[in-house]
Amino acid sequence: GPAGGVCFAMGNKPLKPVLDPADLPHLTDAETLQRISVRFRQLSEPGPKGPHVTPGSFMEHCPKFVDKYGPTIVARVIDMMDTEGTKTASRVGFVTAAYALSCGTSTLRARQLFNLFNASHKPKLALDDFAAVYTPLAAAQHRGSSAAAAPDRELREAMDELGAISARAVFEARESDRSGRMSEATFSLLVEEDHILQQLRAELSQLLVPSLLG
């Protein structure tokens, strides 16, 4: 079923999708599936194995998201949807990830975000992998609350530094076993209470499933 376990691959092998592609015919929200399929066609470009969403095609169609968060998060979003180890997202990978993120249970949504952060594809999340995504999220938050709409380089660097400090503080406050890694269960609890992660999920839902309120 859709809530089936997730297994982790080592190295550059893709992560198993949070939703099993075999579940696609049984997903009930046909309207959302239609929106996601339309969005996939908008974001994808032709490839040898059919249309895929690449980092380049994603950045071309989502410039505001790229300007706000930078290319690292774009690469992580694509990796989250990559079911074939090609550094691109096929239709199946795109649809299953977007559906889980926008319409899944809170467990599925958190697991999808865990995959986004988990660049090393290990069972537990490393601080470096967490910080690589959380730092630009927090920096964007700091810039948004700053009076300067387009901050100069020094101010931007200061915001980035604040973002890095925030990332480490958030991680270390919840990493109970002092192993330098965070379990998926702990990450799921963090998603429930961290407004920056909730905002990321909401923005990605809007981006991947346009006009869906969620």
First to last CA, the chain: 23
Q: What are phi and psi of 125, to 5 degrees?
A: -90, 125
Which single residue is written with the structure tokens 């999340």? 125
Indicate the average pLDDT of the chain.
84
Q: For 35-77, what is each residue's pLDDT tens digit?
A: 999 999 999 999 888 999 999 999 999 999 998 899 999 999 9
> Residue 146 pLDDT more than 70?
no
Structure tokens at 24: 């696609």
